[in-house]
C-alpha cells in the first residue's frame, strides 16, 4: 500500500494500490512488491465505524483487482511473493530482521482484505482459480495451465501434495501460526 495508511490518507490516490489493481501485469520478482508491502496501517479494528470506513475506501481498488487479476495475474503474483517470503520467515525471526517481518505482516493484512472481498463476491471455483491465474509476462515463464503450479528449480517436491495454490497458501498460513512465536 506504500507509506502511512490511515483514515486521513487518500486511498484513491495511492499509486501502489492503483498499480496492483490496475491492468498492468506485475511479475512476482518485481521490486514493486517491496514498495507495496512498506506501509504503516493506523486503523483501530475495534472501532467498527473506522474499520468499516476503511473497508469502504478500499472497495474501488478491490473491485478493479477482482476483474483485472483474471488477465494480469497480479493477485497470483502477490501470493507467489508471500509464499516465497514465508519460507524465510523463521530465519528472519531468529535474526530479528524487523523490516522483513514488518513487510510480511503487511502482506498478511493485504491478504486479509483481498480474500475477504473476493470470498464475498465469488463462488469457490472462481476464488480458487484467481489464486492460480498467471499472466503471460515476458520476464517470467508462466505455466500453460492455470491448475498446474509453475515449476521452478528451487521449489521443493512438497508442492506436488497440493491440489492448487489456495491449498498451499492455507497450509503455509497454518505453519506460520504454529511455528512463529508471538512477541
Q: Report phi then psi at 39, rounded to 5.
A: -150, 160
Confidence of residue 114 (pLDDT cuts 50, 70, 90): very high
Q: Write down the pLDDT at residue 178.
A: 85
C-alpha distance across the termini of the chain, in Å: 24
39-69 pLDDT tens trace: 888 888 788 998 888 889 999 999 999 999 9
The three-class DSSP label of residue 40 is: strand
**22 vs 159 pLDDT, higher one:** 22
Q: Using alpha carbons only, how large is the chain's radius of gyration in Å?
A: 16
C-alpha to C-alpha distance for 99 and 38, rounded to whole angstroms = 9
Q: What is the pLDDT of residues 79-94, one digit of tens each?
A: 999 999 988 887 888 7
- Comparing 94 with 121, the larger pLDDT belongs to 121
**According to the model, what pLDDT value does residue 96 have?**
83
The answer to whether 84 and 141 are in contact (CB under 8 A) is: no
Q: Which residue has the higher pLDDT, 149 or 32?
A: 32
* Percentage above 70 pLDDT, the chain: 79
pLDDT at 97 over 80: yes
The pLDDT value given to residue 149? 42
How far is it, in rounded angstroms, from Cα 115 to Cα 118? 5
At 135-175, the pLDDT tens digits run 654 444 444 344 444 444 445 555 678 888 888 999 999 98
Q: Is the pLDDT of residue 30 over 70?
A: yes
CA distance 59 to 74: 17
Span 106-129, average pLDDT: 93
Whether pLDDT at 72 is above 90:
yes
Amino acid at each position: 500500500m506504500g507509506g502511512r495508511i490511515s483514515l486521513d490518507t487518500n486511498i484513491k490516490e495511492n499509486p501502489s494500490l492503483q498499480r496492483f489493481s490496475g491492468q498492468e501485469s506485475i511479475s512476482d520478482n518485481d521490486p514493486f512488491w517491496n514498495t507495496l508491502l512498506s506501509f504503516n496501517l493506523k486503523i483501530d479494528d475495534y472501532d467498527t465505524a473506522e474499520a468499516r470506513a476503511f473497508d469502504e475506501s478500499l472497495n474501488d481498488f478491490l473491485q478493479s483487482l477482482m476483474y483485472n487479476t483474471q488477465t494480469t495475474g497480479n493477485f497470483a503474483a502477490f501470493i507467489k511473493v508471500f509464499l516465497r517470503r514465508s519460507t524465510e520467515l523463521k530465519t528472519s525471526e531468529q535474526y530479528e530482521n524487523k523490516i522483513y517481518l514488518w513487510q510480511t505482516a503487511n502482506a498478511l493484512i493485504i491478504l486479509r482484505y483481498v480474500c475477504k472481498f473476493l470470498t464475498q463476491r465469488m463462488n469457490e471455483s472462481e476464488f480458487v482459480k484467481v489464486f492460480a491465474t498467471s499472466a503471460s509476462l515476458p520476464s517470467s515463464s508462466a505455466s500453460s495451465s492455470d491448475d498446474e503450479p509453475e515449476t521452478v528449480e528451487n521449489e521443493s517436491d512438497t508442492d506436488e501434495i497440493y491440489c492448487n495454490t489456495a491449498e498451499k497458501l492455507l497450509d503455509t498460513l497454518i505453519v506460520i501460526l504454529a511455528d512463529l512465536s508471538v512477541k
